[in-house]
Amino acid sequence: MANSSIRLVLLCAIWLLTISAGIAAILKYENASGAVGTTLGHWPSVAQISLDTQHDTLVLFAHPKCPCTRATVDELNRIMAQCHGQLVAHVFFLQPAGFSDDWVRSGLWGTAAAIPGVTVQADPRGLIGQKFGAQTSGYVLLYNPAGQLLFSGGITGSRGHAGDNAGEDTVIALVSGRSTGLTHTSVFGCSLLNEPLVCTSNECTYSTQP
């Protein structure tokens, strides 16, 4: 009986340690921010997009297959609803070389395109994103009509989690003309620098095949 009790205690301890390790890994992943490149303080010269000289301009760079970015698009919807008539937004979806228009026009594209005031375009080979310093899906930049960068970073609090967060609140405050001491937040999403992302129900991997 004593040996059985010891074995039961050991099994329970191992089970608890395994569960704890799994939870820790999930939390680490959810809170691991992505890379950010060099973002200029003023609007760069980009032929594919023009700065609005009457309203603030928001630019979002996204990977069409990134599951984490769905939360970012949800937050963009909330921002546009609260900043109605004060903000124009452009969403650029990465289109790697050799990949078709159908590949880039994912469900995420359709969701973003349905938001009033949002223009959606493909970003062939990520060249536009490179000009803005975008390296992680979900990267947002906000410029005033004079082309001054007001904010850069993410508008979710962690990977794949929609809800109130500092990035969203800052963008809304700046567009509304309220002062804020925050100009940058961490961005959570898939890399825009690796090979094209392929996601299953369990994981996301990078593939070189269209």
- For tokens 């009457």, name the residue: 54
Grade residue 12 by pLDDT with cuts at 50, 70 and 90: low
Please state, in angstroms and rounded to a whole number, the distance separating the CA atoms of residues 14 and 12.
Answer: 5
pLDDT tens column, 58-101: 999 999 999 889 999 999 999 999 999 999 999 999 999 889 99
- The answer to whether 89 and 60 have CB atoms below 8 angstroms apart is yes
- Taking only the tens place, the pLDDT of each residue in 142-186 is 999 999 999 999 999 775 556 788 999 999 999 999 988 889 999
The reported pLDDT for the residue numbered 163 is 72
**pLDDT digits 0-9 by tens, 18-47:** 454 433 333 333 444 455 566 788 998 876
Whole-model pTM?
0.77
Using CA of residue 193, residue 21, residue 68, residue 44, what is the dihedral sign?
negative
